[in-house]
Amino acid sequence: MSRKLPIGKGKTPRTSCARALLRRAVDEKTGERLSLSAVTLRVGWCADLVSNLAATLLAEHCNTGDVEVLASGVDAGGRKLPSNAWMALRRLGWSAAPPEGVKVNDRIVRMAQEQAGRALRSAKWRADLTAGVLAAWPIDPGKRTPREWDAVRAAVPGGKYLPSSIIKARTRQAATYLKANGRLPVDVFELEGAPKVARLLLLAACDGQQATIERSETGTGQALLRLQLPTRPDPQAYRDWTWVACPIVLPPTVPASAVLHLPTLRLAGDSVRADLAYTHAVPKAHRTGHAVALGVDWGLNTLLSAGAVQLNGEGRITALGAGGQFRAAGVLAKQHRLRRLSERLHTKADQYERLIAGHDDQLAPKLDVLRGEIQHVSQRRSSLNDALAWAAARWAVDQAIAAGATVIYVEDLRSMEAGGMGRTLNTRLSQQVRGQIADRMRHLATEQGIAVVTVPARNTSKLCPHCLTPLRHRKAPDRPTLAGWKWAICPHQDCRWQGDRDHGAWRRIAARGLAHQATTVTDRTGGHMVIRTVLDNLEANAVLTPTAKTSRKDRTKTGSTRRRSTRPAPRRRRAPSPARPHGRAGQRPEGHAHTDRTRLPRAAHRHQGMNTVSTSTTGHRPPATRGSTRRGIPPPRPRPPTTVGNDPGNSIRLRIA
């Protein structure tokens, strides 16, 4: 299989990842078919060897000095370090040896060095952030002054555009350490400790002597992964390593022309998951030159509100339709219930730990069960958040595709801190999955060549999208005098726009993005497109021009007015009902008879025509028949009373209708 990807005009290569499972395998040395449990066991043995070597490397080099040396990008001789982590660690002379008596090949050490090198490189940003926060430690950690904010942003690399929530989170973490130990930590490694090592196999650090992958010759939807796995947990010689062939069913998201790369194998319970990387060509997304854009606004119960706007040649911006909303109230309610359940379980576990510390060892088994339940609830919350993020991102990208938009503008709420709205609402706002939705949105939009740009969120819900006048927010459109936040009304006499607050926000976001698209830059840390600041001269043009309202129906009178009946059908019955329903569901029966009854009242058993008016069939005399005796119709004869009891003098007389 060729490793070169043909790139056409207007295309760009993109490396993505798909998830697959290893369900079966074949030992090439013996020809034995390995079951799922056998494959999981052998992959687990290999992952244990790699994780032990990686843990040894992290324990030796997880300090400020070694992290600075690795992040500098040059070795002791001044030569540039390779981009691959395992090659950089070998250039620096950082290696680890397996336990005595265990035989592993050089590719196993490579995977351990790659895993440790990635962890050490990722620790550089946290180390610089922690060092800056500790260097500019405020007088009151709970509330910084404006001067202290400027000092901490100057001490942190790239702190000018860093969200304040990240700085506050690191400050709270250091304040907790200060409260427990009576002093501030020296660096991030004393604050957090050595990172944990996961049980996984980074096959990307290997070559053909350890693992290979090829598409299957039988079809494009399968691939064959071959790798060496140990036959025992402590291999004593190379004969204890054998080649194992694992067929993989490729997900449908992997194009047929994509180039496959060696996957990362992860142990998940009783199965082995393969994070399969592949490279394919996608349309190239541009930073500028957009005419149709989709604006996306965040919400709580209404998670997303989005709509499209268009920039014409004259510089005017108009809305394309009324927009839409992604509502996930049911999922968010379930998420809220799981959060409260997790809080109660954590509170109970903390109480058990305090009691066990007081030499109450009988609660130890209950604490283990409680920790298992906490982990189960956490997994449910993670799965729910992941599913919600994918669904919301898919909806937003579909809206952009349907509108023909080439860019999606999303407001930047990374620094939003909920406050002043009650404990419950503040917590729900703080635990939204906005970051996950934005990441999934970028992933799905890049496949279609659509750019995703974050814009500042300042005054997007405060000003009118048509005239930039401060809006008046009310509870509902039919309550213009009741204070609220859902409905927005423009007080300007020449505008008088009104609508849902979120719909006005996405109009402002999309218009601001189109007006400031020339200032779009690419963030170096994350590689995302952002608009950092709002310029006054460009913001003045970020207004929507209202479209002229046209009538869809010609109401010109061409003849005489149609004569209407002076005696319409009764309001209670506009159409005849069936004599008897065919089942529990179907057409509604006559009168107020319930649809869940198999046997209807007597009034519903009549067979009436199309234009008949029903009359009473009981002995009751309705008001319309009180004069029937004058027309020669005798009234119904009353029935004799019934005596209850043995004593006629004290009898109870009942009138039977």
In 447-520, at which residue ranges do the beta strands (DSSP E only) sit?
451-456, 472-476, 479-483, 487-489, 498-500
Q: Cα–Cα distances in Å, from 177 out to 171, 269, 601?
A: 10, 34, 76
Q: Cα–Cα distances in Å, from 483 out to 322, 472, 480?
A: 25, 9, 8
What DSSP character marks residue 519? Answer: G
Quickly state the pLDDT bin for 262 (edges 50, 70, 90). very high
- Residue spans of alpha helices (H) in 404-547: 423-430, 434-447, 501-515, 536-539
pLDDT of 159 higher than 70: yes
Q: How far is CA 561 from the centre of its chain?
A: 56
Pick from 212-216, 306-310, 386-390, 482-486: least confident:
482-486
Quickly state the pLDDT bin for 644 (edges 50, 70, 90). very low
CA distance 568 to 575: 12
Q: Cα–Cα distances in Å, from 508 out to 493, 541, 544, 623?
A: 20, 11, 8, 65
pLDDT of 595 higher than 70: no
> In the chain, what are the domains?
17-137+184-281 (no CATH), 292-332+387-539 (3.30.420.10)
Nearest in space to 315 (alpha carbons), one of 546, 548, 542: 542
Residue-level pLDDT at 221: 84
Residue-level pLDDT at 451: 94
466 by Cβ neighbours in 10 Å (0-12 / 13-18 / 19+) ranks as: buried
Query: Which long-range contacts (C-beta less than 8 Å, at least 24 apart) are formed by 487-491?
Result: 488/461, 488/464, 490/464, 490/466
Model pTM score: 0.76
Which pair of tokens denotes residue 200?
A: 């996984």
Biggest CA pair distance of the chain: 126
Residue-level pLDDT at 642: 44
Nearest in space to 450 (alpha carbons), one of 251, 277, 253, 296: 296
pLDDT tens track for 23-38: 889 999 999 999 999 9
pLDDT tens track for 50-95: 999 999 999 999 999 999 999 998 988 889 999 999 999 999 999 9
What percentage of the chain has pLDDT greater than the value 90?
50
Neighbours of 289 (CB within 10 A): 9
If you average pLDDT over residues 402-421, what whole number do you get?
Answer: 79
